[in-house]
Amino acid sequence: MAYLTQGETGEWETVIGMEIHAQITANSKLFSGASTLFGAEPNTQVSIVDAAMPGMLPVLNAYCVEQAVRTGLGLNAKINHTSVFERKNYFYPDLPQGYQISQFLHPIVGEGRIEIDLEGGKVKEIGITRLHLEQDAGKSVHDLHPSKSFVDLNRSGCALMEIVSEPDINSPEEAVAYLSKLRMILRYLGTCDGNMEEGSMRADVNISVRKPGDGLGTRAEIKNVNSLKAVQQAIDYEVARQIEIIEGGGKIVQETRLWDPNKGVTRSMRSKEEAHDYRYFPDPDLLPLHIQADWIAGIKETLPELPDQKKHRFIGEYGLSPYDAGVLIAERNRAAFFEAVAKGRDPKLAANWVINELLGILNKNATALDDSPISAAQLGALIDLIADNTISGKIAKDVFPLMYETGKDAGQIVEEKGLKQVTDTGAIEAVIDSIIAANPDNVAAYRGGKDKLFGFFVGQVMKETQGKANPAAVNDLLKKKLDA
């Protein structure tokens, strides 16, 4: 069912295309040897190239090219053997060159596509128009002084991939799913850390509305949409704004708008049409980039299993539900952790323990999986204790938080606390006999047809044995004795 917004004159369709800026994971900048590390003192990670001192020449970082190609392959996209760096000209204090080195007519990566996951297990394909390499700008700080702005060039010259989607996205939910999926793929590939708080991934959203069946409406470009929540809110706001204008007899102006996360509105960035006249031309400092087929083939060999492939494998190989598989593949290290736990064990049990218990307790303690006090081997050993009847699943849930607190192995905790399951039928029988003797009324009632009382007897045995009796053995023996 398509996503439609009800206006006063009927229903409206939303058309969205996204431009994602993703900072490439690399040690040094796209055209200089300065560090890209986040959070350094202002203007310390700046070379004279980044500061655009006269006469400095850019030299392209081979690894950034490799990362862009790797990303293109991960997006099922065409890699262009020849691409060209061009100058995008504009003035802003955090752009010391007076132009951004970018790619325009000949990007390094052409058309591709990814699948996004929607509610109810539905999948939709979103086209990728292109991916190109460009320099990031510096950072302006506006709130430290009433009449001055402060400029830090540490980010200036860091390598960005701009990933442009086709206008295939039709709702805020799809936009969020697209951004999440793209982020997941980039993190799997190791080409961008996907950290939206630190600005490693930033989104611009192009939005227009139309009556179903009509041609494309005029779009507005929303900038500064830098979280999944902001994507949802900015689209909701902008769709309502555009419908209200059109239904009020107005026209949408093609313009750039800024999302204000504090006020929850988009506002026009006083767009003179001139501001978009960037006068691109090939950068005379840089020759065209030629990429050989064997280099691309070599990069292809380094591609990891990607999220969708992994998801399908988890469903097929381990028999997991699409939901569980989706949770486990969300992070590459999470999937690896699960596979280590599942190896040689019941995969569904392993998935349950990782998702419900481990991720639950980590989340509660705001701890990352990499810092988990319980290793995959330790969790696996706990599951082994359940599988070989050393402890019951219920006892295991008591052991688990103790493992988390102490970092000890499950076996050691079971030993120390004396939690070993009683499988000795003689011992269980003795307990059952005493309970039957102590509850003649209930025994009579049960034998008289009150089947539900069976649970009462199980509870009594478990209470008596502090939960350590093997539940299957208790069931068997109780049945035998009560039905005798």
Does position 229 interact with another protein (CB under 8 A)? The reply is no
Q: Considering only 22-30, 118-126, 235-243, 428-436, which stretch makes contact with another protein by CB under 8 A?
A: 22-30
Q: How far is the CB of 342 from another protein (least distance, A)?
A: 36
CB 461 within 8 A of CB 435: yes
Distances in whole angstroms, Cα of residue 126 to Cα of each of 18, 162, 230: 11, 16, 20
Residue 253 contacts another protein per CB under 8 A: no
Q: Which is nearer to another protein, 19 or 111 (CB)?
A: 19
Stretch that binds another protein, among 92-100, 124-132, 191-199, 315-323 (CB under 8 A): 92-100
DSSP 157-204: T-EEEEEEE-S-B-SHHHHHHHHHHHHHHHHHHTS----TTTTSEEEE
CB of 190 to another protein, least distance (A): 13
233 touches another protein by CB under 8 A: no
Q: Which two tokens stand for residue 351?
A: 């998935």
Contact with another protein (CB under 8 A) among 16, 18, 22, 46: 46
Query: Looking at 60, 252, 265, 330, which residue binds another protein (CB under 8 A)?
Result: 60
Among 196, 240, 252, 258, binds another protein (CB under 8 A): 258
Residues paired with residue 14 on neighbouring β-strands, in sequence order: 209
Q: Is 412 in the site for another protein (CB under 8 A)?
A: no
Token representation of residue 45 = 């990670």
**In this complex, which beta carbon is closest to another protein, that of residue 263 or of residue 452?**
263
Nearest CA to 236 among 268, 201, 216, 265? 265
Asked if 199 contacts 236 with a C-beta cutoff of 8 angstroms, the reply is no
95 lies in the site for another protein, by CB under 8 A: yes
Burial per residue of 235-261, b for 16 or more beta-carbon CB atoms within 10 angstroms, e otherwise = bebbbebbbeebeeeeebeebbbebee
Of residues 96 and 307, the one with the C-beta less far from another protein? 96
Number of residues that bind another protein (CB under 8 A): 61
Per CB under 8 A, the segment of 26-34, 163-171, 231-239, 361-369 that binds another protein is 26-34
User: What residues between 359 and 388 interact with another protein by CB under 8 A?
Assistant: none
**Which residues, numbered 275-294, are part of the site for another protein (CB under 8 A)?**
275, 277, 279, 282, 286-290
Task: Say how many C-beta atoms besides its own lie within 10 A of residue 206's C-beta.
Answer: 19
Locate 196 and state its tokens. Answer: 């939206």
Are the CB atoms for 58 and 238 separated by under 8 Å?
no
Pairing of strands 289-290, 255-260: unpaired
Closest CB to another protein among residues 4, 296? 296
- Selected from 92, 264, 394, 430, the binder of another protein by CB under 8 A is 92
The H or E element spanning position 76 is none
Shortest separation between residue 60's beta carbon and another protein, angstroms? 5
- CA separation for the pair 394, 86 (Å, rounded): 64
The residue within the footprint of another protein, chosen from 93, 121, 250, 316 (CB under 8 A), is 93
Copy the structure tokens of residue 17. 């295309």
Shortest distance (Å) from residue 192 CB to another protein: 15
Of residues 77, 311, 78, the one with CA closest to residue 184 = 311
Spell out the SS3 assignment of 428-471: HHHHHHHHHHHCHHHHHHHHCCCCCHHHHHHHHHHHHCCCCECH
Start-end of H helices in 249-342: 293-301, 307-318, 322-329, 332-342
Position among 28, 103, 242, 392 found at the interface with another protein (CB under 8 A): 28
Binding region for another protein (CB under 8 A) out of 63-71, 230-238, 332-340, 399-407? 63-71
- Residues at the contact surface with another protein, assessed by CB under 8 A: 26-28, 32-35, 41-49, 51, 59-65, 88-93, 95, 100, 137, 140-142, 144-153, 223-224, 258, 269-270, 274-275, 277, 279, 282, 286-290
